[in-house]
Amino acid sequence: MKNLKKLIALLIIVIIFYFMGKALYQNWRQIPFGGLKFNPLFLIYSYFSMVITLILMALGWKLCLECFKVKVGLWKANQILSIARLGIYVPGKIWAMAGLVYLAKQEGIPGRKTGANAIMETLLTVLSALLISTFSFSFFMEKVAPVKNIYLLFIVIALCFIALYPPLFTKVANWGLRIIKQEPVEFKLHYTRLLVILSVYLLNWFFQGLCFYFLIASFYPIPFDLLPVLLSLHVISWIVGFLSIITPGGLGVRDGLLSYLLKFYLPVSIGITAALLFRLWGIIGMISFAGIFGRGLIRTKRTF
């Protein structure tokens, strides 16, 4: 059964990248080579934006853990996550979590609390993704009626506040734990703390959008007012990729959808190239980040 799932995942990835490659080949002549200009400064901006997102992820993880009365330094959080997140591209969806649980245990963090923390992080990540994508569409998409946009934003904000209501949030988190066959965890939450953590994830999404924008701008001239659009498209494609339970890290699914959505704002060839480069750029960033922060963890022989 496991081998069948791996085969299906591989088949899906191959098919998606095949059609992306075919579309790129068919639209190759549409690439405005004369207008392309490599800008290393924008590439540097993109990389530093990505570094900020990775640090914000560690900060969010740290703040969530504090809700379970577990304290860990930001540097140590970066060390643990920089190694553990490399497992997201291993088929099976469990390796990143398994690595995270193992590394956290080496620092005295119970696996039960690490699992509960992962549920809490997931809920806050999805809520912040919905909120920031709606915000971007509501205020910056010119093709949709402005009044309807404001209404939509208020509805999403109201739903987020309801979802963040501590008793409800706790029940949903424990329900998620039961799904993954873990015992419920008792923890006290306050609106203020949840809003602070949510703001960290919102900032994380913003810098991810900034990273994507500067990556494209490093080789193709793109107006800055497209930043909110790129942010929204990235978030939408991430959510769909996250929901794809077969492919590791949303590989193929997220890239295919992102390239499709980009064609409404960029030349098809540029959109496909940008989606593929963004995936590759993210992998390079995670590996380099692990090399920077993970070395201390490796030296202490606490890696899996």
Q: Identify the pLDDT of residue 158.
A: 83
Mean pLDDT (whole number) for 241-255 = 68
> How far is Cα 232 from Cα 257, in angstroms, rounded to an integer?
12
Question: Tokens in use for 1?
Answer: 């059964």
Which residues contact residue 45 at a Cβ distance below 8 angstroms, ignoring those fewer than 6 apart?
Answer: 210, 214
Q: Kindly report, residue by residue over 158-187, the tens digit of the pLDDT.
A: 888 888 888 888 887 777 777 766 777 777
> How far is Cα 73 from Cα 59, in angstroms, rounded to an integer?
9
Helices 74-84, 268-299: axis angle to 10 degrees equals 120
The CB density around residue 179, as the number of other CB atoms within 10 Å, is 9
Q: Identify the pLDDT of residue 215.
A: 94
Instruction: Name the residue ranges covered by the structural domains of the chain.
Output: 37-299
Helices 253-262, 227-243: axis angle to 10 degrees equals 150
Question: Tokens in use for 218?
Answer: 């490093």
Torsion angle of C-alpha atoms 67, 68, 71, 74, degrees rounded to 10: -60
- Residues 245 and 93 sit within 8 Å (Cβ to Cβ): yes
pLDDT of 11 strictly over 60: no
CA atoms within 13 A on the CB side of 80: 25
Q: Identify the pLDDT of residue 172.
A: 79
Task: Please indicate whether residue 68 or residue 303 has the higher confidence score (pLDDT).
Answer: 68
- ∠ CA 288-293-299, nearest 5°, is 110
Mean pLDDT (whole number) for 216-229 = 88
Range of lowest pLDDT (75-79, 125-129, 152-156): 152-156
Q: Identify the pLDDT of residue 145.
A: 44
Q: Identify the pLDDT of residue 302.
A: 44
Note the pTM of the prediction, 2 decimals: 0.80
pLDDT of 245 strictly over 70: no
The CB density around residue 117, as the number of other CB atoms within 10 Å, is 24
pLDDT of 144 strictly over 60: no
pLDDT of 188 strictly over 50: yes
> How far is Cα 278 from Cα 92, in angstroms, rounded to an integer?
23
Q: Identify the pLDDT of residue 21.
A: 58
Mean pLDDT (whole number) for 133-152 = 61
Task: Please indicate whether residue 135 or residue 12 has the higher confidence score (pLDDT).
Answer: 135
Mean pLDDT (whole number) for 192-197 = 89
Q: How confident is the model at residue 290 (pLDDT cuts 50, 70, 90)?
A: confident
Task: Please indicate whether residue 82 or residue 208 has the higher confidence score (pLDDT).
Answer: 208
> How far is Cα 255 from Cα 267, in angstroms, rounded to an integer?
16
Of 290, 292, 274, the closest CA to residue 42 belongs to 274
Mean pLDDT (whole number) for 240-252 = 67
% of the chain at pLDDT higher than 70: 72
